[in-house]
Each structure stands twice: as structure tokens, then as C-alpha cells.
Amino acid sequence: MPDVLPVHAGPFALGTFSLAQSEPFAGLVAGDRVRRLDVPGVTESLRAWDLDELGGLATGPGPWIPLGELEIHAPLRPRQVLQSGANYHKHVLDLVMAEFRADNEGMTEEEARAAGKAMMDARVANGTPYVFAGLPSAICGPYDDVVLPDRGSRHDWELELAVVIGRPAWRVPREEAMRHVAGYTICNDITTRDQLYRPDLKKIGTDWLSAKNAPTFLPTGPFLVPAAFAGDPMDLRIRLRHNGVVRQDESTKDMIFDIAELIAYTSARVPLSPGDLLLTGSPAGNGAHWGVFLKPGDVMDAEITGLGHMRNTCVAAD
């Protein structure tokens, strides 16, 4: 457990917990106490989603367990993890500027910024989201260690708002997309930058299997906060500290494609089920921007408005 208990917006949230040396269970957390739910897992509770019923449990007599006595696990185990890439204006502009200057010797920063902005404006006007699949096996808890594999050395953080799907979604139009959202949680999509591109297959593109998806590379949690309590998901503050230094500090306002657009785009290609996670992209401030990467012993503190916080310590692989 963390030294300071995570705080959630609203009267209650959902999560997965365990007592010492016991099997994890789905629970309803209300402030600093947890009530066991009579379902196999949080995903199952989403299939019979009823805020009024859960609200009644949140104000009922219990039995309750103090949150401080429990281990907090990732709130749920999704069937699918869908991840949005290049979805924040400032982050993408940084990437585009670096690429322009690398390909055009002598280009000034001002020229690269102007070229990058023109490309960004065109993408906003005519582009579509970029979404790829991740592995649920990469998920770990909000206070678990992140194991850095010896394959590659440029391990980087990417703090993201994650959408939890609450209703089946298949070919959902944008105007109906938000009705399929159960709530939100926090994900830190760890990426090994020097594994992103294969030198033997330069024209193939990115190698997401090698660069992402290692065990523990997707810390998630601490809770699932219902959408009704989370506030405006397009106006939440995302902040990550690396060894106490603020590296990411941005608002979800900076997204290029909003949550409704991401759901419409993704559900047009893949049927979404209750409990699936849709990551919405990482804002500016990754380690690649700072020239700083994760090492054993490093600590990442992550928070998003109303969703709580995570703290993960990096360790070397055995």
C-alpha cells in the first residue's frame, strides 16, 4: 500500500483488492473503506452496471474493510487493450519538429515549428486517429514494481487517461459513443524507445511487441471511477513525476481526437466489450523529450484529476 491513500472523485469507485495472502476480489471503494462485491470481478459488475444500486451499497452498513489494510491491484483485467498514439498536439509537434530538423540540415527551430504546425493543422482537419492493440498481460498494479528488461535501455514513461468500456460497442457513431463509457482509470504505457524500429525491416514500421507489452509495462489503477463522477474527461490534468521531478503536466484538452472520436473510430474496426480499455494517448513530456530514461531504482508518481494516483518503482530484470 502507498503511504498516502489514493483519493477518487464521487461517492464511490470500483477496484480489485486483496488481504494479505488472499485471493483478489472485486470491491466498491468509498473514501477510505472497501466493500466486497458479490461478482467474480469488476468486469462482471460492468455487465449489470447500475449506479443507483452501487450507490446504495456505498451508503449501506457493510461489512467494510479499511482501504489501508488492503493491497490495491489493477482495477480490472480487460479482454482487449486498444491504444491511441500521437494524440496530443504538443507531443506530436515535438516529434514532428525533431524529424523535420533531422531530415533537413540547416532548418531552424522556428522553421521546423512552422512546418510541424502546418502538418498538425492538416491532420486535425483531415486525419483520423492512430490506434493499435496492446496485450492485457502487460498490466500490473498501481503500486507494483516495473521490471525493466535488459532488451534495450531507453525505457520511457507515457502517462495516459484510459477509458473503460461499459456497454458493447460495435460501429458506434460519434454522437452515441460516450454512452458506452463506464468510467476512467490511469495507465502508464511504458515504452522501450530503442526497440521501436527494426533496422532489418526499416520499411515495415514500428515493432510494438518489442517496444511495449513486456510484463509490468502497463501500470493501471488505482480505481475505476464512474464517468458520472469523473467530471469532464476532456478537461482533466495529467501529471507524472520522475524521481520527484515533474516531467508531464498537461490537460486532456490538448488531445487531437477526443474520446468520442476514438470510440467511434475503434468500434468501427473492432467490437468493444465491457471492461475493455481504450488508452487515449500520452501528452508531451516523455523521457525522450528530456533525454532521460528509466533506470533501476527510479520512481514514477502519476496522477490524473479525480482518478487517484499511482507510484511505481523500477527494478532490473533477474
Q: What is the pLDDT of residues 249-299, one digit of tens each?
A: 999 999 999 999 999 999 999 999 999 999 999 999 999 889 999 999 999
If phi > 0 it is left, if psi is from -120 to 50 it is alpha, else beta; for residue 158 that is beta
Kind and range of the H or E run holding 289: helix 287-290
Does residue 178 sit in helix, strand or coil? helix
Q: In this model, does residue 94 exceed pLDDT 80? A: no
- Tell whether 293 and 169 lie within a shared domain: yes
In a domain, 1, yes or no: no
The more confidently predicted of residues 293 and 102 is: 293
- Tell whether 41 and 184 lie within a shared domain: no
Cell of 221: 489503477
In a domain, 4, yes or no: no
Q: Give the Cα separation of 227 and 44 in Å (integer).
A: 17
- Tell whether 250 and 117 lie within a shared domain: no
- Tell whether 165 and 219 lie within a shared domain: yes
Q: Cα–Cα distances in Å, from 141 out to 24, 77, 103, 257?
A: 12, 11, 40, 28
- Tell whether 151 and 124 lie within a shared domain: no
Q: What pLDDT does residue 116 have?
A: 72
Q: Give the Cα separation of 239 and 229 in Å (integer).
A: 20
Q: What is the pTM of this model?
A: 0.93
Q: Cα–Cα distances in Å, from 171 out to 12, 31, 127, 262, 267?
A: 31, 37, 19, 12, 5
Range list of β-strands (E), the chain? 13-18, 25-30, 33-36, 65-66, 71-73, 81-85, 130-134, 139-140, 146-148, 155-156, 159-165, 181-188, 191-192, 218-226, 237-242, 245-251, 277-279, 299-304, 308-316
- Tell whether 220 and 191 lie within a shared domain: yes
Q: What is the pLDDT of residues 180-220, one digit of tens each?
A: 999 999 999 999 999 888 888 877 878 888 999 999 999 99
- Tell whether 137 and 265 lie within a shared domain: yes
Q: What is the pLDDT of residues 9-51, one digit of tens each?
A: 999 999 999 998 899 999 999 999 999 998 889 988 887 677 8
Q: What is the pLDDT of residues 66-81, one digit of tens each?
A: 999 999 999 999 999 9
- Tell whether 270 and 138 lie within a shared domain: yes
Domains of the chain: total: 3
- Do 128 and 265 meet the contact criterion of CB atoms below 8 Å apart? yes
Instruction: Mark which of 65, 98, 128 sits at the end of a domain.
Output: 128
- Tell whether 190 and 283 lie within a shared domain: yes
CATH number, domain containing residue 312: 3.90.850.10
Query: Which residue type sits at 25?
Result: F
Query: Whole domain around residue 104: which residue ranges?
Result: 90-128
Q: Cα–Cα distances in Å, from 153 out to 132, 156, 292, 294?
A: 23, 9, 11, 8
In a domain, 2, yes or no: no
Nearest to 290 by CA among 247, 244, 230, 231: 247
Q: In this model, does residue 1 exceed pLDDT 90? A: no
